[in-house]
Amino acid sequence: MIQDNYQTIRQKISQYAADCNRDPDTIQLVAVSKKKESPLIQQVFDCGQRIFGENYLQEAAQKIPDLPPSAKWHFIGHLQSNKAKQAVSLFDVIETVDSLKLAKLIDKHANTLGKSTAILLQINIGREQQKAGVLPEEAESLLKQITSETKLQVLGLMVIPPFSDKPEVTRPFFRETRKLAEEFARKQLFTNNENVVLSMVMSADFHVAIEEGATHIRIGTALFGARDY
Ligand SMILES: *Cc1c(COP(=O)(O)O)cnc(C)c1O
């Protein structure tokens, strides 16, 4: 049952947080609902979950109106510039911003729609050629440009680490992400430098992400079950 999955994940978050002396309330679950239908998402909402992550705009546009307005939506897929307007109208947080061009488009549409859109900077922390995200060494200058040239709320960083089912292989990527975030916060580059968002995880187990400072844990399969493509 999906309710059992939800409770298990909640308990793990509390346990992992306690294991490293973190307040579990500083860790948000992002329920990744891509490829899952509205009634199932509603069941998770009814368990108390409020933040949902979606990867595909067309799909999200169909499902978001089905859920209560108190649900918050994070866009975690690849965003094409010509879809920026739709993304702004649908989502509360766009986690995958990796260029000034995209940030400016999001800002423009947010202003037109009268929305205060929040974004995360996606970092290509594994420097993988096939992956989106700004390279770690280019992140600071991009962040400076975005904060000076847009009115977007830049909440923090998002990463998809190189795939591995071994948590210890993934740990250094999370650690490097946190170090970057700490450095940027010291330089006052985020909108709220006391409360920087770190959106992490993609399969394996998520205790390392919590140990390394994740504030947002993106989980799909362990909650909703495997996806059919
Ligand atoms: C699909 C997806 C997830 C969820 O992955 P699971 O392995 O199903 O938990 C997390 N983050 C991103 C960016 C995704 O695209």
Per-residue model confidence (pLDDT) at position 203: 66
The Cβ of residue 209 has, within 10 Å, a number of other Cβ atoms equal to 30
The pTM assigned to this predicted structure is 0.97
For ligand 1, say whether the CB of 90 is within 6 Å of any of its atoms.
no
Residue 229, pLDDT above cutoff 90: no
Residue 15 lies in a domain: yes
- Report the number of distinct structural domains present in the chain: 1
Residue 135 pLDDT grade (very low, low, confident, very high; cuts 50, 70, 90): very high
pLDDT in tens, 56-111: 999 999 999 999 999 999 999 999 999 999 999 999 999 999 999 999 999 999 99
Confidence at residue 205, expressed as pLDDT on a 0 to 100 scale: 78
pLDDT at 114 over 90: yes
> Which ligand 1 atom lies nearest to the CA of residue 218?
10
Q: What contacts 158, CB < 8 A, 6 or more positions away?
A: 76, 95, 96, 120, 121, 122, 123, 133, 198, 199, 200
**Could you write out the DSSP letters of every residue in 35-68?**
T--HHHHHHHHHTT--EEEES-HHHHHHHGGGS-
The percent of residues in the chain predicted with pLDDT above 90, rounded, is 96
Residue 205 tokens read as 């187990």
Q: How far is the CA of 134 from the centre of ligand 1 (A)?
A: 19
Measured from the Cα of 76, ligand 1's closest atom is 13
Residue at 173 is within a domain:
yes
Q: Which domain holds residue 188?
A: 2-224
Burial of 23 (0-12, 13-18, 19+ CB in 10 A): exposed
Averaged pLDDT for residues 206-220: 97
* 134 secondary structure, DSSP code: B
Q: What mean pLDDT is predicted for residues 149-169?
A: 95
d(CA 13, ligand 1 centre) in Å: 17
Q: Residue 202: its pLDDT value, please? A: 83
Which tokens sit at 105?
């488009």
Whether 149 is in a domain gets the answer yes
| Residue 219 Cβ < 6 Å to ligand 1 | yes
**What confidence category does residue 115 fall into, taking pLDDT thresholds of 50, 70 and 90?**
very high
Find the 218 Cα to ligand 1 centroid distance in Å: 6
- The mean predicted confidence, pLDDT, of the chain is 96
120, 199 in Cβ contact below 8 A?
yes
Is 229 part of a structural domain of the chain?
A: no
Confirm if 121 and 159 have CB atoms less than 8 A apart: no
91 within a domain of the structure (yes/no): yes
* Closest of 5, 7, 53 to residue 31, by C-alpha: 53
Q: How far apart are CA 29 and CA 39, in angstroms?
A: 19
The DSSP element (H or E) to which 90 belongs, if any, is helix 84-90
115 or 203: whose pLDDT is higher?
115
How confident is the model over 155-174, as a mean pLDDT?
A: 95
What pLDDT was estimated at residue 195? 97
pLDDT (mean) for 128-136: 97
Residue 69 belongs to a domain:
yes
Q: What is the pLDDT of residue 93?
A: 98
Q: Is residue 209 part of a domain?
A: yes
Look at residue 190 and tell me if it is in a domain.
yes
Give the pLDDT score at 14: 97
Angle between helices 136-149 and 100-113 (to 10 degrees): 30
Ramachandran region, residue 35 (left: φ > 0; alpha: ψ -120 to 50; beta: rest) = left
Q: What is the CATH classification number for the domain harbouring 136? A: 3.20.20.10
For the chain, percent helix, then strand, then coil, each to nearest 5?
Answer: 45, 15, 35
119: its two tokens:
């974004």
Q: Tell me what pLDDT residue 204 has.
A: 65
